[in-house]
Amino acid sequence: MAKYLVDVNLPSRFSVWKGEQFEYVIHFNDEWKDSQIWEYARTNGLTIVTKDADFSEMMLLNEPPPRVIHIKLGNIKMSDFHQLISKTWDSIKLLSEKYKLIRVYADRIEGID
C-alpha cells in the first residue's frame, strides 16, 4: 500500500523511492494543480514529498492528512541530491510519522507540528 506521493519536481527514478510505498504524480497527470495533488494525497492518506513551497504553506494551515515532506536543497547536483536523501531518508520517514511537516535542508531536518 502506498504511503508517499512524490511530486513531479522530484526524480521518479530514485532507488530510495522505489516500491509499493510510493506513487508518483507524473504517473497520474504531470499537469495536476497543487490542489488536485493535495486532495489525492488527503483522500488516500499519503504523505506528499515535494520541493514546492506551496505545500509547506498549505500544511501550516491544515491538519493531516496529508502530511508533507518539503525538500529544500536548492539547486544541487543530482548525485549530491541522491546521496543526501539516501543518507537521511530513514530519519525523514520517522519524523514524518510524528510531525505534519518535515523540512529537509542540506545541514538539518526540521519537524513542524
In this prediction the pTM is 0.94
pLDDT tens digit sequence for 66-83: 999 999 998 889 999 999
Domain count, the chain: 1
Judge whether 110 and 77 are in contact, CB under 8 Å.
no
pLDDT tens digit sequence for 32-67: 999 999 999 999 999 999 999 999 999 888 888 999
Q: Is residue 29 pLDDT above 90, yes or no?
A: no
CB-count exposure of residue 15 (10 Å: 0-12, 13-18, 19+): exposed
Residues 6+ apart with CB under 8 A from 36: 29
Judge whether 96 and 63 are in contact, CB under 8 Å.
no
Please give the residue range of the domain that contains residue 13: 4-112
